[in-house]
Amino acid sequence: MKVTIVGAGNVGASCADSISYRGIASEVVLLDIREGFAEGKAMDISQCATNTGFNTKVSGVTSDYSKTANSDVVVITSGIPRKPGMTREELIGINAGIVKTVADNVLTHSPNAIIVVVSNPMDTMTYLTLKATGLPKNRIIGMGGALDSSRFRYYLSKALDKPSNDVSAMVIGGHGDTTMIPLTRLASYNGIPVSEFLSGEELAKVAADTMVGGATLTGLLGTSAWYAPGASVAYLVDSILNDQKKMIACSVMLEGEYGQSDICIGVPCIIGKNGIEEILDIKLSDAEKAAFAKSADAVRNMNADLKSILA
């Protein structure tokens, strides 16, 4: 199975590293516009093979889409990341043009690929990719919820002082500092509601920390995060290529689910060889419903900025 990753920067290279290291694909191609950069990242990752024991063929190319031909999955990470103090939404002006051009190029050589959109603002870039390519909605998946849910589990595990892997929790809604919805009511520690162990105040802090998880890292690193984003993409790609049918929160086009239409936003999905195989329209509380409607309004406002590029 072949995976192309467009953008060999921090996130793209981390995706390639994670996918190779875990043996998820037989071939990974990194593509970037910076001369020699993807080639260098691919060579560095390939030289891990003997010490970590993987056999994935990793190559890098500068702008040569012919080398990406017949990819099963294409991950779009090209575009600029935010700097401390910025929101993801501020990236739209530059990233929309990049993502649209990349999606067109990718499809010319891999007409059957499933596309995973990572570039920010991710929900709007997912919507753009869907509208610009006209592909069926099961083949365009926005990655954000997998990462936000892993951060939610991290903050819960810290508050509980228990391992993250014993914590189950999900974030839905937009992939933005104010649009994420950590589903605290449904979070559990090995099946026991976390509210058995943590106070309302502690849970509210966990949710607030989760929502600004990306901004916190951007403040610490000077640019946005890459290890957990790369691992989250690999988790998603694994579920596609190995038809695992995992339930993962992804940004997907809604057609009536959660009372929304004509919008890509994070909801629980079953991910398998056909991409988005099912959208789980779970019952939300009144407060969660209100938060979801508010989050969708904000994402829809952002999508309105795509008018000229989609005209």
Ligand X SMILES: O=C([O-])CC(=O)C(=O)O
Ligand Y SMILES: NC(=O)C1=CN([C@@H]2O[C@H](COP(=O)(O)OP(=O)(O)OC[C@H]3O[C@@H](n4cnc5c(N)ncnc54)[C@H](O)[C@@H]3O)[C@@H](O)[C@H]2O)C=CC1
Shortest distance, position 14 Cβ to ligand Y, whole Å: 8
Of the listed 2, 175, 214, 240, which one is catalytic? 175
> Which residues 71-110 are close enough to bind ligand X by CB under 6 A?
81-82, 88
d(CA 6, CA 4): 6
- 102 belongs to the binding site for ligand Y (CB under 6 A): yes
Partner in contact with 218, chosen from ligand Y, ligand X, none, beta carbon below 5 to 8 Å by kind: ligand X
Shortest distance, position 191 Cβ to ligand X, whole Å: 28
d(CA 25, CA 237): 9
Shortest distance, position 39 Cβ to ligand X, whole Å: 25
H helices of the chain, in order, are: 10-21, 37-46, 49-52, 92-109, 122-133, 145-160, 200-211, 213-221, 227-241, 286-303, 307-310
Question: 8 vs 107, which CB is nearer to ligand Y?
Answer: 8
**CB-based contact 143:263 (threshold 8 Å):** no
Please identify which residue in 60, 173, 229, 272 interacts with ligand X, judged by CB under 6 A.
229
Nearest alpha carbon to residue 233 among 32, 12, 2, 28: 12
Question: 60 vs 81, which CB is nearer to ligand Y?
Answer: 81
Say which residues have a Cβ less than 8 Å from residue 60's Cβ, sequence separation at least 6: 8, 29, 30, 31, 32, 37, 38, 39, 40, 41, 42, 43
What is the secondary structure of 30-79 as a DSSP string? EEESSTTHHHHHHHHHHTTHHHHT---EEEEEES-GGGGTT-SEEEE--S
- 15 belongs to the binding site for ligand Y (CB under 6 A): no
Output the residue with the shortest Cβ distance to ligand X: 214
Shortest distance, position 279 Cβ to ligand X, whole Å: 22
267 residue type, one letter:
V
Among 21-29, 90-98, 130-138, 262-270, the segment contacting ligand Y (CB under 6 A): 90-98
Cis upstream peptide for 121 (omega within 30°): yes
With H, G, I as helix, E, B as strand and everything else as coil, classify residue 267: strand
d(CA 286, CA 123): 24
233 residue type, one letter:
V
Shortest distance, position 161 Cβ to ligand Y, whole Å: 27
Which string of x and - marks every residue 133-162 that binds ligand X (by CB under 6 A)? Answer: --------------x---------------
Is-catalytic flag, 109? Answer: no
Kindly determine how many residues on this chain lie close enough to bind ligand Y according to the rule CB under 6 A: 37
**CB-based contact 112:248 (threshold 8 Å):** no
**CB-based contact 2:70 (threshold 8 Å):** yes
Cα 284 to its chain centre, rounded Å, is: 23
- 11 belongs to the binding site for ligand Y (CB under 6 A): yes
> Which DSSP letter does residue 174 get?
-
Shortest distance, position 236 Cβ to ligand X, whole Å: 14
Among 178-186, 204-212, 225-233, 273-281, the segment contacting ligand Y (CB under 6 A): 225-233
Question: 29 vs 128, which CB is nearer to ligand X?
Answer: 128
- 150 belongs to the binding site for ligand Y (CB under 6 A): no
Partner in contact with 235, chosen from ligand Y, ligand X, none, beta carbon below 5 to 8 Å by kind: none
40 residue type, one letter:
G
Provide the binding-site residues for ligand Y, judged by CB under 6 A.
Answer: 6-12, 31-34, 37, 77-82, 88, 91, 95, 98, 101-102, 118-120, 122, 143-144, 147, 175, 223-226, 229
Provide the binding-site residues for ligand X, judged by CB under 6 A.
Answer: 81-82, 88, 120, 147, 214, 218, 224-225, 229
Give catalytic residues, as residue numbers.
175
